[in-house]
Amino acid sequence: STRDGRPFRLAVIGSGPAGFYTAYRAMTRIQNARVDMYEALPVPYGLVRFGVAPDHPEVKNCQEKFEEVASSPNFTFIGNVSIGTKSDHPDGGTIPLASILRHYHAVVFSYGAAKDRTLGIPGEHVKGVYSARQFVGWYNGLPEHANLAPDLTRGDEAVIIGQGNVALDVARMLLEDVDVLRKSDIAEHAIETLSKSKVRRVHIVGRRGPMQAAFTIKEIRELLRLPSVAFHPIDTSLVPQDIKSLPRAPRRLMDILLQDSPTPPTHCSPPTQTKQQKSWSLDFLLSPTAFLPSPADPARLAATKFTRTTLSDPFDPAAYALPTTDADPHTIPSALAFRSVGYQSTPLPEFAPLGIPFSDRHGVISNDGRGRVQHEERAADASMRIGRFPGLYCAGWVKRGPTGVIASTMQDAFSTADAMAEDWADGRVAFLNDKGRDVGGWDGVKGEGMSGVRVVDWEGWRRIDRAERERGARVGKEREKFTRTGDMLAVLG
Binding site, annotated residues = 18, 39, 47, 83, 163-166, 207-208, 219, 397, 404-406
Count interface residues toward ligand FAD (CB under 6 A).
Answer: 36
Q: Which of 35, 52, 337, 356 binds ligand FAD (CB under 6 A)?
A: 52
Residues 167-206 that bind ligand FAD (CB under 6 A): 169
Among 3, 6, 29, 56, binds ligand FAD (CB under 6 A): 56
Selected from 10, 33, 40, 246, the binder of ligand FAD by CB under 6 A is 40
Of the listed pieces 41-49, 69-77, 241-249, 418-426, which binds ligand FAD according to CB under 6 A?
41-49
- From the list 32-40, 99-107, 116-124, 147-155, the region that binds ligand FAD by CB under 6 A is 32-40
- Indicate which single residue of 8, 66, 75, 111 sits in contact with ligand FAD (rule: CB under 6 A): 111
Query: Would you count residue 17 as binding ligand FAD (CB under 6 A)?
Result: yes
- Residue 215 CB, shortest distance to ligand FAD, in Å, is 12
Q: Phi-psi bin for 300: left (phi > 0), alpha (psi -120 to 50), beta?
A: beta
Q: Does 396 bind ligand FAD (CB under 6 A)?
A: yes
Pick one of 82, 212, 236, 289: the residue that binds ligand FAD (CB under 6 A). 82
According to CB under 6 A, which one of 199, 406, 421, 489 is a site residue for ligand FAD?
406
List own/partner pairs for 48-54 with CB under 8 A and 24 or more apart: 48/16, 48/17, 48/406, 49/140, 49/481, 50/136, 50/137, 50/140, 50/141, 50/142, 51/136, 51/140, 52/140, 53/136, 53/169, 53/172, 53/173, 54/139, 54/140, 54/181, 54/184, 54/185, 54/186
- Can you say how many angstroms the Cα of residue 420 is from the centroid of all Cα atoms in its chain? 25
Tell me the closest approach of the beta carbon of residue 60 to ligand FAD, in angstroms: 9
**36 touches ligand FAD by CB under 6 A:** no
Interface pick for ligand FAD out of 9, 10, 19, 337 (rule CB under 6 A):
19
Q: Which of residues 323-352 bind ligand FAD (CB under 6 A)?
A: 343
- Answer yes or no: are the C-beta atoms of 425 and 32 closer than 8 Å: no
Q: Is 18 in the site for ligand FAD (CB under 6 A)?
A: yes
**β-pairing verdict for 201-205 and 278-283:** parallel
Q: How many CB atoms lie within 10 A of CB 325?
A: 9
CB-CB contact of 140 with 50 (8 Å): yes
Among the listed residues 16, 54, 164, 363, the single contact to ligand FAD using CB under 6 A:
16
State which residue, 349 or 449, has the beta carbon closest to ligand FAD. Answer: 349
User: Which segments are annotated as binding site for FAD?
Assistant: 18, 39, 47, 83, 397, 404-406
Q: Which is nearer to ligand FAD, 77 or 315 (CB)?
A: 77
Strand 286-293 with 301-311, pairing: antiparallel
Q: Residue 30 CB, nearest distance to ligand FAD (Å)? A: 20
257 lies in the site for ligand FAD, by CB under 6 A:
no
d(CA 319, CA 357) in angstroms, rounded, equals: 32
**342 C-beta neighbours (distance < 10 Å), count:** 21
DSSP code of residue 321: E
What is the amino acid identity at position 45?
Y
Of 82 and 307, nearer to ligand FAD (C-beta) is 82
Q: What is the DSSP letter of 349?
A: T
Helices (H), 30-187: 47-50, 62-70, 97-102, 132-139, 165-175, 178-181
For ligand FAD, the binding residue among 10, 33, 47, 202 (CB under 6 A) is 47
| Sequence-distant (≥ 6) Cβ neighbours of residue 487 within 8 angstroms | none
Among the listed ranges 16-24, 184-192, 281-289, 443-451, the one in contact with ligand FAD (CB under 6 A) is 16-24
Nearer to ligand FAD by Cβ, of 52 and 285: the residue is 52
CB 278 within 8 A of CB 201: yes
Q: Does 137 contact ligand FAD by CB under 6 A? A: no
Q: Which stretch binds ligand FAD (CB under 6 A): 314-322, 328-336, 361-369, 399-407?
A: 399-407
Interatomic CA distance for residues 380 and 160, integer angstroms: 48
Bridge partners (DSSP) listed for residue 103: none
Q: Which of 51, 363, 441, 460 binds ligand FAD (CB under 6 A)?
A: 51
Buried b (16+ CB within 10 A) or exposed e, 300-323: ebbbbbbbbbebeebbeeebebee
Q: Is the CB of residue 40 less than 8 Å from the CB of residue 485? A: no
Is residue 453 close enough to count as binding ligand FAD by CB under 6 A?
no
The C-alpha atoms of residue 85 and residue 255 are separated, in whole angstroms, by 48
Residue among 121, 112, 90 nearest 19 (CA): 112
Separation CA 50–CA 363 (nearest Å): 21
Nearest residue relative to ligand FAD (C-beta)? 16
Alpha-carbon distance 175 to 200, whole Å?
Answer: 7
Identify which range of 48-56, 193-201, 242-250, 417-425 contacts ligand FAD by CB under 6 A: 48-56
The stretch among 15-23, 205-213, 229-237, 434-442 that binds ligand FAD (CB under 6 A) is: 15-23
> Of 257-265, 286-294, 401-409, 461-469, which part binds ligand FAD (CB under 6 A)?
401-409
Residue span binding ligand FAD (CB under 6 A) among the ranges 28-36, 405-413, 421-429, 431-439: 405-413
Please, how many CA atoms are within 13 Å of residue 199, restricted to the half-sphere of its CB?
29
Residues that bind ligand FAD (CB under 6 A): 13-19, 38-41, 46-48, 51-52, 56, 59, 82-85, 110-112, 114, 136, 166, 169, 343, 396-397, 404-406, 409
